[in-house]
Structures are given as structure tokens and as C-alpha cells.
Structure 1
Amino acid sequence: MARYLAWRLAALLPVLALVLVIVFTLSRLIPGDPATTLLGPGATSAQIAALRAQLHLDEAPLLQFTAYLGGLAQGDLGRSLKSGAPVLEEILLRLPATLELSLLALLLALLAGIPIGVWSAVRANSGFDHAVRVVSLAGVSMPAFLFALLLQLVFGVWLGWLPVSGRASPFFLTEPVTGFAILDALLEGDGEAALDAFLHLLLPTTVLAAFLAATLGRFVRNAMLEVLGDDFVRTARAKGLREGAVVFRHALRNALLPALTIVGLKFAEMLGGAVLTETVFAWPGIGRYMFDAIRNRDYPVIQGTTLVFALIFLLTALLVDLLSAWLDPRLRRGMR
């Protein structure tokens, strides 16, 4: 297992290198000039040329890439062209917001998707099963930004129940200890601030969780239907075991192993979907930071945030493989 882990970690390097080359190239193909965007339409040619020289944008792309690699080898992701702040510090400042949003969305998707998938399989071809399949198809098909706007309109504008933007109300100020708004408020003993942070999380979390819950529910249903027809399930029923024990102790346990792979990959995709969700809800995470960087042609930020998303995706895939091996001895023997 240790050898397999070392090999997988080493394999991350060429993948990240390829991602870096692609992102570096594509970011330079974005229409527009960063210096012109930063200075505005009233800037003169001399001012634009001076800023380009100051930001090293007048150098050849190969020289820019070499300099970036040199800084990256020292743990330096460069400085934002717009703010001048180190990109790594800006990312670490915003990472807890994205993780808080994504982890809560993952928990919500698991709590909704797995029970719905199990019940649909147990009640296959019933009215409930047909309704779940229609809702799941809608959840998979609806664009995230459209679903976000609908939730804002209904729960924020029409009903006025939930806030539609931001991470907390301006009159709730908590010391950022962990970076997780709810946890920081609880650490300070401020229950009202924790509730306010939770209410701000509800709408963006629902948007992110909807796609994963719909996908997971459909996958668990299909996996459960296949497992429920296996011989060991029929044997368990023939022994007189209760239906609940057959479904949850035997069938679900075997159906969840392949579902684990789907959860891991879709969670990584959900982080990518956070770009749109965070932008719509003005959520101060990495996704919105990346969107603003693309709009401002901020090359170092685009490269840094893309590397972080790629690293999270690869580490999530590795974690899924390790968990699958831990649950299935057959996979564990193949990793030796």
C-alpha cells in the first residue's frame, strides 16, 4: 500500500505539469490586454507600455513561463496583476469558504441521494420511483446558474426567507480562527452569528448539492437493483432475515462501494461548479476569485487557482482509490 501511495503521488507531478502548460497557454489566448484592463480605457499608449514592462508582460511567453516555473519550484504562485498580493496567500484566504460550501453540499447530497436511491430501488417502478427519476433527471439537466437564480428569486425576493448573497450579514463580525464561518462563530460562543452564517450557506449549498444528489440517487438505485437480484440476497431472505437487514446490511453495503467512486469524482466536479455558484451568490471563495481573474486577465491568479482545483481533483481521486481498497480486500491486494 505504501509503495502504491508513493507511486500515485509521484504520478501527480506530470499531470499537474501538463495542466500548467495548458492553462498558461490558454490564459494568454484570452482576448484583451491585462495592462489595458487595469488602467482603463482612458490610458495612453505610454502608460500601457510602462505597465506591461513593470508586469513583465512584454517578455516572450517562454521567458514568462520559465520565470513562473522558477517561482513555483519555491512555492511561489506569483503575484496578482490587479492587487499585487501573493496569489498563494489570496488562495489560502479564500479556500476555507469554498471548502465549507463544498463539504456541506457533499453532506447534504449524501443525506438526500442515498436514502432516495435505496427507497426507489426497494419500490422499483412505483409512483415514488417514477417521480424520483423525473426529479433526478431535472436536477442533472438544469444549469447551476439557472437553478441558483430561481432559488434567489423564490426564497430571497418573493418569500424573503433567506439571504441571497455574501457569507454573513455585515453586523455579525467574528474572528477568523479556522476560516469556517459557522465554526468560528461557535468558537466565540455567538449562536446568532452561527445561525446567520448557516442561513447564508443554505441557498448556494442547495445549488451545489442538487446535481450530486440527483446523480448519486440514480446511481444508488441502479446499483441496488442489481445487488438485490444477486444470489446472496436471495439466500439472506431465505434464511428469514428481516427485510431491513437484507436491504441495509447486505445489499446497500455492496452497492455503496461503486457509488464511492461516483461521489469522489462528482465532488471534484462540484468544486469546479463552485465557480458559477460562488459568482451568483457573491460567495468569497476560490471560484469567485478565479472568475474575477478571468475577467481581469489576471494570469497568475488564473494559473494558481486552476492548479489548486486540479490538485484537489487528483487528491480526491487518490482518496477514493484508498477508501475503496480499505472497503474491498480484493482491491487492497492489487495495490501491493
Structure 2
Amino acid sequence: MDLDVFVTAHHAEWDRLDRLLGRSRRLNGTEIDELVTLYQRTATHLSLLQSTTPDPVLVARLTQLVARARSTVTGTRRASWRDAARFLTHGFPAAVYRSRRWWIPTALLSIAVAAAIGWWIAAHPEVQASIGAPADLREMTRPGGQYETYYSSHPAASFAAQVWTNNAQAAAMCLVLGAFLCVPVLWILFLNMLNLGVGIGLMSSAGRLDTFLGLVAPHGLLELTAVFVAAGTGLRLGWTLIDPGPRTRRAAVAEEGRAALGMALGLALVLFVSGLIEGFVTPSGLPTWARITIGVVAELAFLVYVYVCGGRAARSGEQGDVELADRSAGLPTAA
């Protein structure tokens, strides 16, 4: 395509669209029809330029022009409580449901890694010695030691807030860093499983694995599920960069990225519930069976929420993306 000929043929349309957008008075019906037509043509021109002979200056000008025109044509929309309700009942659970082929294998493999690390530490005293001095390890694992007092060493409210903040940051990092070809997500996941495996191994070597699991299970079931969902979604985002499928790479990453950012908000709420359990239930005086039951109920409630609400929403076409009106306009691509 001859760029000079293309610009000469269409610059009058672009200038006319710019003038219509700059009008201070309300446009009449004829002018509105003209604006819509010019917007559609300019969007097509922009796509052709991007696909054939991109000129940075001209592409930047038309991109800005198309964005202004789209804002004028579609108008602006304010978020409402209805949007929040729809996100919680459709968007978020559908996004988690759609990612299940990523986060379920991630969860199973991660738990296997943590169990293997725990067995390795428990079965090899020399590995335990490399972790800490024998006196320090006894202090950590004894009845009333550091593993037990950790959950009750701070006021419940502040401890729950701290736990929630740390876990939400870890989940957000898994989601966002997935764009870096999955590697940072795998590292964050490994560090989490390493910490869990060390606890399993040390407490098992002290003959107190049941106590450790009784402390971790009430909040850990929901907390780890949220981490696995975040990690699986991050891995999916990273893989989209490698294999976008039938979509263009830009469109695929944009769609999955928006869903991942929305999922970060939903997982923050899930981790808030987990933080409350860790701050108020785990260190409470309730019997172990009662604390574990609360954790199991919370976990089952989340899974039912994902598979019932999310499955229904996903089958109806929900992608976990923002509303269609809030997405960037899809432009045709020249072959």
C-alpha cells in the first residue's frame, strides 16, 4: 500500500471527524450519522495501517481520533452496585471456572511437591540440621512452641489483616507476573510449597504432624485454593503469550489480562475470608475437629460457588471479562 496515496485519499475524512468531535454545540441528527460513519471508516483505516505499513505518527493520530470518536459514540458509563453484583455472581466465578484446567493440576502438583519436601526433611536428620540448630528446632516444634504460638502471638484483628494483605499481594503477583512467560509464577508457587513442606517435615519428625495439620487446615484449605487459582490463572496468561489460539496475540492477552485483573479483586475477597478464619478460628479454643470443620465448610462453599454459579455463567457465554461496552473496539485485520 502506498502510504502517501492512502493519506491523500482519506485525510479529508479524518479532518472532518476531528472537527465534528471538536464541536462545542450539540450535533444534529445528520451530523451524528456522519460522525458514526466516519468513526467506522477511520477505525478500518487504522487497522489497515497497523496491518500493512505502520507509520508511528499517523497510527498515533488515528488511534487518538478513534478513541475520541468511540467515547462520543458509545458514551460513558458509571460503575454501579449492579456491576459489582454481576461481577460476584457471574464474572468472577466464571473466570475461576474457565481456568480450572490450569489451577486444578497446579494444586495437585504443588501439594505433591510440598508433601515430597516434607517427607525428605522428616526422613533425613542431616537436612533438618541444615535448617536450624537442634535446640531451635525443638523450640519450634514442641507443645506451645513457635508453630503453635504463631497464630495467637498477635491480636486476632490485626493478625487477620496482616495475613490478608500478604496473601492478597502474593495472589496478585501470581496473576500479574504470569505475563512474564510463567517463570515468576512458578518461583512464587515453589516458595509457598517450600514453606509448607518445611513445616510438615519438622513437625512430622517431632511426632506432631497431626497438630500441625490441625492448625493449618482450618484456613489453609481456602487460602491455598486461592493461591492455586491465582497461580493457575497466571500460568494461563503466560501461555496465552506463547499460544494465543485463533485470536490475535494482542486481543488474547488483553482479554485474559482483564479477566486476571478482575480475578485479583475476587480472590482478595476469598483471602479476606481465609484471613478471618486464620485470625479468629485457628487460634481459638475450639476443638480441632470443629476448627477443621469450619475450614472444610468454607472450602466446599467456595467450590460450590465456582462450579454452580461459575459453571452456569460460563456455559451462558460469560468470559470473566469486562462488559462489552467497556472493551476496546475490535478492529478488522487485513489478511
| TM-score interval, normalised by the smaller of the two chains | 0.3 to 0.5
Larger radius of gyration between Structure 1 and Structure 2: 2
Question: Could you tell me the TM-score, scaled by structure 1's length?
Answer: 0.39
